[in-house]
Amino acid sequence: MNNDFIDKIRNFIKTVLKILDTILSLITLLIFLLSLKYLPYFLNFTLSAEPLNLISHFQYILSYILLLAILLELMVVLVRFSTFALIDTLIIIIVRELLTHPGISMNNILYGVIGVGILSFVRRFCFTKEERERKI
């Protein structure tokens, strides 16, 4: 009797979590689609920039494009959770921070490179063969 009640609660919580994951995925997809609307504006703004400000405009557009990639990866993580997708998302987030901040210190660059190296190592070597085959 007590076990049956616990199973009902677990099933209810699983159902609620699936609904919340679906809602978060739809919101992420909506934000991504709305963000695509502004991509031509950013490209036009960058192409019409003065040569002295071109690097800052390039960093701005690169930051925007990488943010869109992070949104897509986040949607993949929410829809079908896998450790590989989560590690890929973390790598993209760290690389975005390294590429798009102009005043980043050498210590932060070193920490970012070490972080990407650790995540790549974990992704490559710390999973069993079955987990690697199941990643897709």
Segments forming the whole domain that contains residue 56: 2-133
Domain count for the chain, please give it. 1
| H-assigned helices in the chain | 2-36, 39-47, 54-79, 83-100, 106-125, 129-133
- Nearest CA to 93 out of 68, 56, 58 is that of 68
pTM, full prediction: 0.59
Q: How confident is the prediction along the chain (136 residues), in pLDDT tens digits per residue?
A: 567 877 888 888 888 877 877 787 788 778 778 877 877 877 777 677 676 676 777 777 777 777 777 777 777 777 777 777 788 888 888 888 887 777 788 888 899 899 999 988 888 887 776 666 665 4
